[in-house]
C-alpha cells in the first residue's frame, strides 16, 4: 500500500523528486547582515508556491535563488525553502529551515506544519504529532498538517482521530487527490476496501497520474477478492510487483491459499530472487499455521 508523504512500515514514500537547487539548511544561514528585513511581495511568494504545487521544482528554485540574491529578508522565504526541500526529500534540511521559525508570530504555524511533515518523513512520529497538533491549533486551515496528522493517527490505529483529521484536510484542500488517497489507505488498514476503492477512484479522477492511488486501488480490489482485476493491465516488467501486492491483500483478507499462489506467481514472474515476495510467502505460511493474521499484516511489504 502506498501513501503520499511518508507511510507505515507496510509501504514506502511515494514522491521522491530531485532537482538542482542550492540547499539552504537553516533560516539563520539565509542572511548574514543585521540590516532591517526586506520583505518580498505576496505575488513572489505565490509564484514560488505555485511552482512547487505544480511540481516545477527547477522554476521554484530559480525564483528562490533570485529572491535570495536580491537580499530579500522575509520569514516566508525560509518556509518556501523548507517546502522545496520537502519536495526534494531533503527532510533534515527542511526541518532545519522550519524549526528556527517556530516562534515567529507571522509564520509559526506554517513552520510547525513543515517541521511536523519532515519529522513524520524521518520516522520521528511522536515529535511529528506534537508539531502538527501545534500547527493546526495555530491555524486550523493548514490542510497539509491535518493530512499528515491523519497518517500519524493511522500509525496508532486511532481511527476516530484519523478520520477527523482527513475530514479537515479534505475541506481545506478542496478534496485534494493526495488526501483522498491517504484516507483510502486508512480505510484499507481498517479492512474497509469498498469505501477505500471509492476514495482511490476519486483521487484518480482528480489526478489521473497519481501512481500511488492506482496501486492502492489494485490492492483494494484484491482485498475484495477481485484478484484478476487487481493484477490486470500491467506490463510484463510490473507483473511481479502487482502479484506480490495482490498477495499482500489476500493475506490481509485471510485468504492464505490465494496469497501463497500469488506470491508464488510473483516469484516466478520476477525470474530471479524476489526478497519481498519470498519474505511475504514465509509470513503467510506462518500465519496459516497459526490460523490468525492478527497483528502481523504490517510486516508484509508491497511495491
The C-alpha angle 91, 97, 102, rounded to 5 degrees, equals 115
- Give residue 124's pLDDT band: very low, low, confident or very high (50, 70, 90): very high
Q: What 3-state class would DSSP assign to 19?
A: coil
Same-domain pairing of 157 and 257: no
| 228/67: higher pLDDT | 67
Question: What would the pLDDT profile of 10-32 be if each residue is shown by its tens digit?
Answer: 222 232 222 333 333 333 334 34
Choose among 271, 276, 281, 275: nearest CA to 250: 281
Same-domain pairing of 18 and 161: yes
Question: What would the pLDDT profile of 190-221 be if each residue is shown by its tens digit?
Answer: 989 999 999 999 999 999 999 899 888 988 88
Q: What 3-state class would DSSP assign to 29?
A: helix
Residue 216 lies in a domain: no
State which of 160, 176, 192 marks the end of a domain.
176
Q: What CATH number does the domain containing 100 carry?
A: 1.25.40.10
Choose among 147, 21, 38, 33: nearest CA to 84: 21
* CA separation, residue 119 to residues 21, 127, 150, 280, 283 (Å): 22, 7, 14, 29, 30
| 165/32: higher pLDDT | 165
Same-domain pairing of 28 and 131: yes
The span from the CA of 30 to the CA of 44, in Å, is 17
Average pLDDT over residues 88-106: 92
The C-alpha angle 260, 185, 156, rounded to 5 degrees, equals 100
| 220/150: higher pLDDT | 150
State which of 138, 157, 176 marks the end of a domain.
176
The span from the CA of 186 to the CA of 196, in Å, is 8
Q: Is the whole model's pTM more than 0.85, yes or no? A: no
* CA separation, residue 3 to residues 9, 41, 150, 176, 282 (Å): 11, 34, 11, 13, 25
State which of 176, 203, 221 marks the end of a domain.
176
Domain extent for 87? 1-32+39-176
Amino acid at each position: 500500500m502506498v501513501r503520499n508523504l511518508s507511510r507505515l512500515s507496510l509501504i514506502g514514500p511515494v514522491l521522491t523528486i530531485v532537482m538542482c537547487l542550492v540547499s539552504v539548511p537553516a533560516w539563520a544561514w539565509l542572511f548574514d547582515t543585521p540590516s532591517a528585513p526586506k520583505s518580498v511581495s505576496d505575488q513572489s511568494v505565490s509564484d514560488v508556491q505555485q511552482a512547487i504545487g505544480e511540481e516545477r521544482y527547477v522554476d521554484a528554485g530559480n525564483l528562490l535563488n533570485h529572491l535570495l540574491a536580491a537580499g530579500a529578508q522575509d520569514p516566508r522565504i525560509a518556509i518556501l525553502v523548507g517546502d522545496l526541500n520537502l519536495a526534494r526529500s531533503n527532510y533534515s534540511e527542511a526541518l532545519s529551515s522550519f524549526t528556527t521559525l517556530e516562534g515567529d508570530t507571522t509564520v509559526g504555524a506554517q513552520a510547525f506544519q513543515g517541521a511536523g511533515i519532515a519529522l513524520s518523513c524521518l520516522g520521528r512520529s511522536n515529535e511529528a504529532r506534537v508539531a502538527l497538533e501545534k500547527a493546526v491549533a495555530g491555524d486550523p486551515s493548514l490542510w497539509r498538517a491535518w493530512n499528515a496528522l491523519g497518517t500519524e493517527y493511522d500509525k496508532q490505529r486511532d481511527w476516530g482521530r484519523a478520520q477527523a483529521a482527513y475530514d479537515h484536510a479534505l475541506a481545506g484542500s478542496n478534496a485534494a487527490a493526495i488526501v483522498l488517497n491517504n484516507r483510502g489507505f486508512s480505510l484499507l488498514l481498517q479492512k474497509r476496501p469498498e469505501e477505500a476503492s471509492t476514495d482511490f477512484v476519486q483521487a484518480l479522477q482528480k489526478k489521473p497520474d497519481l501512481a500511488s492511488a492506482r496501486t492502492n486501488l489494485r490492492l483494494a480490489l484484491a482485498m475484495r477478492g477481485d484478484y484478476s482485476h487487481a493484477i490486470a493491465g500491467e506490463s510484463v516488467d510490473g507483473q511481479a510487483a502487482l502479484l506480490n501486492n495482490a498477495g499482500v491483500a489476500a493475506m490481509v483478507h485471510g485468504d492464505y491459499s490465494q496469497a501463497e499462489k500469488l506470491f508464488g506467481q510473483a516469484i516466478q514472474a520476477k525470474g530471479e530472487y524476489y526478497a519481498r515476495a519470498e519474505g511475504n510467502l514465509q509470513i503467510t505460511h506462518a500465519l496459516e499455521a497459526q490460523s490468525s493474521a492478527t497483528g502481523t499484516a504490517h510486516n508484509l511489504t508491497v511495491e
